[in-house]
């Protein structure tokens, strides 16, 4: 939020939008490139829309990868829980013959 506020001040002072956002260091190079292209061609609104779509795709891709990594981990945790439950039930049953003697 602070980076965008600083960029807003710089744009009001006359700096190009792409330069102001680039100096913040928070925006990916592809977004900066699309904004610069939009400013140069006079189609900033279309380029901002493209940048938003590109960022949305990238975020969706990251989420998909994270879920892909999380699934095997969740299976291992569930397997551990099932193992603990089975051991909790079976160990007392297996130790019963010792108590009978």
Handedness of CA 9, 54, 72, 88 (dihedral sign): positive
CA 94 to chain centre: 48
Domain that holds residue 42: 2-76
Q: Considering the domain boundaries, does residue 36 fall inside one?
A: yes
pLDDT value at residue 85: 97
pLDDT value at residue 101: 64
Helix 29-41 vs helix 44-100: crossing angle, to nearest 10 = 160
Say if residue 3's pLDDT is above 90: no
Q: Considering the domain boundaries, does residue 52 fall inside one?
A: yes
pLDDT tens readout for residues 23-74: 888 888 898 999 999 988 989 899 999 999 999 999 999 999 999 999 999 9
pLDDT value at residue 86: 96
pLDDT value at residue 87: 95
Q: Considering the domain boundaries, does residue 97 fall inside one?
A: no
Q: How many structural domains compose the chain?
A: 1
Q: Considering the domain boundaries, does residue 92 fall inside one?
A: no
């Amino acid at each position: 939020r602070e980076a965008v506020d600083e960029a807003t001040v710089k744009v009001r002072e006359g700096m190009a939008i792409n330069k102001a956002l680039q100096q913040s260091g928070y925006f990916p190079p592809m977004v900066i490139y699309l904004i610069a292209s939009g400013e140069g061609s006079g189609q900033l609104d279309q380029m901002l829309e493209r940048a938003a779509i590109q960022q949305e795709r990238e975020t969706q891709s990251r989420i998909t990868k994270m879920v892909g990594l999380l699934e095997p981990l969740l299976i291992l945790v569930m397997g551990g829980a099932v193992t603990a439950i089975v051991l909790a039930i079976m160990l007392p049953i297996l130790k019963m013959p010792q108590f009978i003697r």
